Structure formats: C-alpha cells, structure tokens
Amino acid sequence: MVRQFLRFGAIVVVTLLAVLGLAYARAQAAPSYQDATPTPEPIPITSDQQCLDCHTAPDQIMQLASGESLYLTIDGEAYADSLHGKASVGCTKCHTNVTAYPHEPLAEKDLRQVTINFSQTCRQCHSDQAAKNLDSIHQIIREQGGENAENAAACADCHNPHYTQPPAQPRSKIISTCGRCHSRIAAEYRESVHGAALVGEENIDVPACTDCHGVHTIVDPRTTGFLLKSPELCASCHSNKGRMAKYGINTTVFNTYVADFHGTTVTLFERQSPDQLPNKPLCIDCHGVHNIKTVTDAESTVIKQNLLKTCQKCHPSATANYPDAWLSHYTPSPEHNSLVYYVQLFYQFFIPAVVGGMAVFVAADAGRRIAARIKGGKK
C-alpha cells in the first residue's frame, strides 16, 4: 500500500515539474509586452512641408536592389525656385503612391527604372507634350525593346522634376541636355560654326539641336523622309535674307542647289520615289552634319583646297580641275562667276535677236508670197 502511494506521488511530482518546465519555456519564448516596441501607425501626409521636413536633411540615400544608390535629399530652396515650385506643384501631385509615413517600399530595382517609371507621372499635367512624344524616336526605341530600349530618353532625363527651369534659357543649355546621351555628337557640334556661335556667344541666329530635330516630336534622322527634307531644313535659315544679311551670307543657296543637276535630281526623287534616297548629294553630304565649318576654316570640306576630296566621295575619278565647274551656290554676277554671267548675258540678247530676226524674216517672206498670190490672182 505504501509502495503504491509513493509511486503515485512520484508520478504527480514528475507531472508537475514537466508542466512547470513547459510553462517556463513558453514564458521565455513569449515577447515581453512591457518591453516590446509597438508597430507605429502610418502617419498620413497632408502637406508638402511634411515631405520637406524629412527630405531636406542632408545625405539621405536609399540602396536599391541593384546596389545603386538613390539620393533622396531635396534642396528646398532650389525646388521653390523651379517652375514646379513657382507653380505650387505639390510633392504628392507627382508621387501619387506616397500617402503616408512610413512609405511603401519602392518597386523599382535600379535607377533607370526609377527614372522611366516616374516619368509616366509627367503625362498627368503635360498631356500635349506626352502625346507628341509617342511618335518620337525615343519612345519608338523603348516600345520596340532590345538592348537600347531602357537607355532611350524619358521625360526626367531632360527635365529634372525637382529643379525644372525653362529648357532653353539660355539656349546653349539645350546642347548640354542632349549631350547627356549624345556626348560625341555634342562635342562635334560645339566645334562647328553653329556650335561655337551658340555656346560662345549665345547667338540666337544659329540652330540648336531642337531647331533641326524637334523637341518632343524627334524623328529618326536616318530615315529617307528626314534626309530628303534636310535641304529644306537648311534653307529655313539660309534663305532668310534678314538673318543672313547680318553675316554677309548668300541667300540663294537653296535656289541654286535646286537649279543645278544635284538638286534637281534630288527634287525629282522626292516627288516620284519618296521612300528612296537618290544617289545625288544632299547639303549634309558636302558640308557635314554636326561638324559644319565656316567656309574660311582650313578644315572646311567645301573650301577650294578640300573640295576635290569632297567631290571624290561620289566621283572617285575626279581630277584636280573637276571642282572648278561648281559655282559655289552663287547666282552668276560680275562679282561671282563673271565669265558665266557675261556668257548668259550675251545669250539673253543673242537668242532673242536671232529668234526675233528669224521670225521677222519668216513673216516678211510669208507676206511677200501672199501679196504675190493676190496680185497674180487679179491678173
């Protein structure tokens, strides 16, 4: 009897110890509600000042999944002085997904995705420009995909959303903007007669990138349509008498080009086969594209000492006297191409005199014959 009692007592003690041990283990594993920090409730963002209170602090950086750093600090004064700041465009007007603090984590994995995705918000206010951009070469490249798709310019590549200023003030800023992607071309342009005048003098008469290529409607300059229209593009400035008079530049360049063999052929091709390029030179074939030099520059492709080499690009068998046939876009006059001028002048009188004399002779002879017949009929 005693033995059974002791056995029962041992079982009770062991059971109690097991229960107490399990309870202690659970107590150790359970959080201490007294010491735990509660998850903060999201704070609604109701003003731009809330954003600036945090984002004007220096050196705020977020690490993206790609390992790149996204700089989050905003210069409040520079923003206030920007076009958006002056127009009272609030932070959440663009950052529509940010409504409270803490913010939702970014879905973008790298800096390029951030730029492209946030550029979509520009369409909310700038719908006209966004519609024009849909047909631009930048947008077409992005939609086609491929290795260069993500590198095609988006809104935020050209217009910094936090510090946006008038994009063409000064006009030379256009070169720097395009040069962020097209650095080699921008360097060539800066050394050209156009670029030197624009960058060095802020000359408003010379073309910047956007004057030739457009702004939001930029087309592919390698297409047949663009190339065939390029002489008219050059003529839009070089046929402007008021503008060219300031620099003593001949304004008959387009008319003389169209009148010669090269230009006439190009014009016919444009009318009959607008989807094909002619095998005759356009302005850019002789003068260059972004690297155009003044006609007094030793590196110019159209000055006398370099002209033969330029002609030989299309006429490889051309000899030293071949370029002498070119009239340099001047209408013949006593000052320019005087021999051609006087020959033309001679024929202006000679041909009418010969044709007119022949007409008088024919008329006189016909009159004589008619008179003779009438006279003979009366007999």
At 31 the pLDDT is: 46
pLDDT digits (tens, 9 = 90+) for 192-225: 999 999 999 999 999 999 999 999 999 999 998 8
Q: Is the pLDDT of residue 33 over 60?
A: no
pLDDT of residue 148: 82
**Looking at the predicted structure, is the pLDDT value of residue 67 above 60?**
yes
Considering the domain boundaries, does residue 275 fall inside one? Answer: yes
User: Which residue is it, tokens 């879905």?
Assistant: 107
Do 63 and 154 fall into the same domain? yes
Per-residue confidence band for 339, with pLDDT thresholds at 50, 70 and 90:
confident
Report the percent of the chain where pLDDT is more than 90. Answer: 49
| 8 located within any domain | no
Residues 317, 303 within the same domain? yes
- 249 and 302: one domain? yes
Judge whether 23 lies within some domain: no
- Residue 293 pLDDT: 93
Same-domain pairing of 77 and 147:
yes
Residue 10 pLDDT:
55
Same domain for 240 and 322, yes or no, is: yes
Q: What are residue 62's DSSP bridge partners?
A: 70
374 vs 1, which has greater pLDDT?
374
Co-location of 170 and 268 in the same domain: no
Q: Are residues 210 and 113 in the same domain?
A: no
- The pLDDT assigned to 155 comes to 92
Average pLDDT, the chain: 85
- Decide if 37 is inside a domain: no
In the listed set 165, 180, 200, which residue is the last one of a domain according to the structure?
165
Query: Does 337 score more than 80 pLDDT?
Result: no
- Into how many domains does the chain fold? 4
pLDDT of residue 317: 92
Q: Is the pLDDT of residue 114 over 80?
A: yes
146 and 49 in one domain?
yes
Please say if the pLDDT value at position 4 is more than 70.
Answer: no
Q: Is residue 20 part of a domain?
A: no
* Residue 145 maps to a domain: yes
HEC-encoded secondary structure of the chain = CHHHHHHHHHHHHHHHHHHHHHHHHHHHHCCCCCCCCCCCCCEECCCHHHHHHHHCCCCCEEECCCCCEEECCCCHHHHHCCHHHHCCCCHHHHCCCCCEECCCCCCCCCHHHHHHHHHHHHHHCCHHHHHHHCCCHHHHHHHHCCCCHHHCCCHHHHCCCCCCCCCCCCCCHHHHHHHCCCHHHHHHHHCCHHHHHHHHHCCCCCCCHHHHHCCCCCCCCCCHHHHHHHHHHHHHHHCCHHHHHCCCCCCCHHHHHHHCHHHHHHHHHHHHCCCCCCCCCCHHHHHCCCCCCCCCCCCCCCCHHHHHHHHCCCCCCCCCCHHHHCCCCCCCCCCCCHHHHHHHHHHHHHHHHHHHHHHHHHHHHHHHHHHHHHHHHHC
Range of the domain at 338: 334-364
pLDDT at position 32, please? 44
Q: Assess whether 67 and 155 both reside in one domain.
A: yes
- Report pLDDT digits (tens) over 344-361: 888 989 999 999 999 999
Q: Considering the domain boundaries, does residue 34 fall inside one?
A: no
Q: Which long-range contacts (CB under 8 A, 24 or more apart) does 202-208 make?
A: 202/170, 202/171, 202/172, 204/171, 205/237, 205/243, 205/246, 205/247, 207/237, 208/168, 208/171, 208/172, 208/174, 208/175
pLDDT digits over 56-66, tens only?
Answer: 999 899 999 99
Indicate whether 64 and 155 sit together in one domain. Answer: yes
Residue 34 has pLDDT above 50, yes or no: no
pLDDT digits (tens, 9 = 90+) for 138-197: 999 988 888 888 899 999 999 999 999 999 989 999 999 999 999 999 999 999 999 999
Where is pLDDT greater, at 244 or 39? 244
Residue 30 has what pLDDT? 44
Residues 288-329 have pLDDT tens digits of 999 999 988 999 999 888 999 999 999 999 998 888 877 778
Are 98 and 188 part of one and the same domain? no
Mean pLDDT of the 120-134 span:
90
- Domain-located, residue 148: yes
Is the pTM higher than 0.95? Answer: no
Q: What confidence score (pLDDT) does residue 111 get?
A: 93
pLDDT of residue 20: 54
Position 106 pLDDT exceeds 60: yes
Regarding whether 356 and 282 lie in a shared domain, the answer is: no
pLDDT of residue 11: 58
pLDDT the model gives residue 9: 55
